[in-house]
């Protein structure tokens, strides 16, 4: 299955997805709304196909139309968001219904949105973690496909917790993506 990974930043999850590519899926495109994203530079060095365009100046509809065209041109079937920091429009979500997944650094439905680690610590939670979910119009709201838990240790700061959760993300995301593409549920709809 041909997968596109969308990144806005460092792209460590994208690298873990690329490292696990093989029988189940291949990375057909790495796309970014931030032409200067570190993840994009790495993808280029690897010889992966890339697409980079900033919505700044041209506006979101034109940006998304170009992104959508690049995805189709690359024969992409599934989109994996990996630190993609921009909300997809309802229109794009509709076009790719059931075929976009995301990794979020909390145990959903807890802590949708930003600052998940600080919020988990402030709440006195004993565990934190990450979730891979289907992307819908509701932010971090689609069906959860898989989760991994990590302990919150005494003295944890948002940064130390983020690091522990990130290691769990790197294990979880490739595993869930491989299962998702094997199941191929989007083909039924």
| Binding site residue list | 11-13, 60, 85-88, 102
What single-letter DSSP state applies at residue 185? Answer: G
Among residues 101, 89, 99, the alpha carbon closest in space to that of 17 is found at 101
SS3 109: coil
Size of the site for ligand GRF (CB under 6 A): 15
Single out the residue of 74, 99, 105, 140 in contact with ligand GRF (rule: CB under 6 A). 105
d(CA 187, CA 136): 17
- Is 82 one of the binding residues for ligand GRF (CB under 6 A)? yes
Q: Which residues pair with 165 in a beta bridge?
A: none
**Residues 101/78, Cβ–Cβ less than 8 Å:** yes
Q: Is 129 near ligand GRF (CB under 6 A)?
A: no
- Is 104 part of the annotated catalytic residue set? yes
> Judged by CB under 6 A, which of 6, 12, 150, 156 binds ligand GRF?
12
User: Site map for ligand GRF, 34-73, x if CB under 6 A?
Assistant: -----x----------------------------------
Which residues belong to the active site?
104
């Amino acid at each position: 299955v041909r997968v596109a990974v969308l990144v806005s930043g460092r792209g460590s999850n994208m690298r873990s997805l690329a490292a696990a590519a093989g029988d189940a899926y291949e990375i057909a495109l790495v796309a970014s709304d931030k032409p200067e994203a570190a993840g994009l530079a790495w993808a280029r060095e690897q010889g992966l196909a890339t697409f980079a365009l900033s919505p700044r100046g041209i506006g979101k509809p034109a940006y998304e139309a170009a992104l959508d065209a690049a995805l189709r041109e690359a024969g992409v079937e599934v989109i994996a968001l990996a630190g993609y920091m921009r909300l997809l429009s309802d229109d794009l979500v509709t076009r790719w219904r059931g075929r976009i997944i995301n990794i979020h650094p909390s145990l959903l439905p807890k802590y949708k949105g930003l600052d998940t680690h600080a919020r988990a610590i402030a709440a006195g939670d004993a565990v934190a973690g990450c979730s891979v979910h289907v992307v819908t119009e509701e932010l971090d709201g689609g069906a959860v496909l898989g989760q991994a838990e990590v302990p919150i240790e005494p003295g944890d700061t948002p940064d130390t917790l983020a690091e522990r959760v990130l290691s769990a993300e790197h294990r979880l995301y490739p595993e869930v993506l491989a299962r998702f593409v094997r199941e191929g549920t989007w083909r039924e709809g």
